[in-house]
Chains A and B, each alone.
Chain A
Amino acid sequence: EVQLVESGGGLVQPGGSLRLSCAASGFTFSNYWMTWVRQAPGKGLEWVANINQHGTESYYVDSVKGRFTISRDNAKNSLYLQMNSLRDEDTAVYFCAKDTSTQLWSYYFDQWGQGTLVTVSS
């Protein structure tokens, strides 16, 4: 059974930093693109970033470029999101999601974690 378990969320002041983790199990983690998606309270889904199987290629939504960094450790079956210079508008539940792609191009997401809440507030 595929499991994705996020951790690391919490309350942080504007301008602060937080590192989210996603522990994966039940599939060969190193074969798949992985993604972070967020959802602000009462709002829709927003794709944040993704990373290829080897950790050598990543993409970001413009609003987080230069502030967030996605990374992975295939030896530990883990995905990360380092979030710096946090803003009020980054407040959201952050979901880790498994892409279906084992190829050069990422696709859609067939497995999701339960999410971890990040609250940016003074």
Chain B
Amino acid sequence: DIQMTQSPSTLSASVGDRVTITCRASQSISSWLAWYQQKPGKAPKLLIYKASTLESGVPSRFSGSGSGTEFTLTISSLQPDDFATFYCQQYNGYPRTFGQGTKVEIK
């Protein structure tokens, strides 16, 4: 199985901060990586796919980069609506696997 490891697990930040979340794969997954945002009690929402392609309707302050085994999700200027938990997910092999999540909290 491909293990996905996110860091940090929790991040405290203020509105306007630049935030970066890292996702590492246990083996190369090329660019077959998606990022999701989940708010409490809600379903996840797709943000980015193929490592760096922004899903339609997602604000441009979100961006993704990386390939192979190391990936990052960046929020250029954190907004009040962005406080949530973020997950990466690989779709290079089976079983599909998610990172353990990164919770972005208000500082």
Contacts and interface: CB of A to CB of B under 8 A. Distances in A.
B65 interface: no
Contacts of B32: 107
Interface of B: 1, 32, 34, 36, 38, 42-46, 49, 55, 87, 89, 91, 94-101
Contacts of A100: 49
A19 B95 CA distance: 22
Nearest to B96: A47
What secondary structure prevails in chain B residues at the interface with A? loop
Contact of B101 (A44, A95, A113): A44
Nearest to B46: A110
24 contacts: A37-B44, A45-B36, A45-B38, A45-B44, A45-B87, A47-B98, A59-B94, A60-B95, A62-B1, A62-B95, A100-B49, A106-B96, A107-B34, A107-B91, A108-B34, A108-B49, A108-B89, A108-B91, A109-B34, A109-B36, A109-B89, A110-B46, A112-B43, A112-B44
Contacts of B96: 35, 47, 50, 106
A44 B98 contact: yes
Most buried by A among B1, B96, B98: B96
A64 to B, nearest CB: 10
A45 B98 contact: yes
B43 A113 contact: yes
B49 A107 contact: yes
Contacts of B95: 47, 59-62
A35 B94 CA distance: 13
Contacts of B42: 114
A88 interface: no
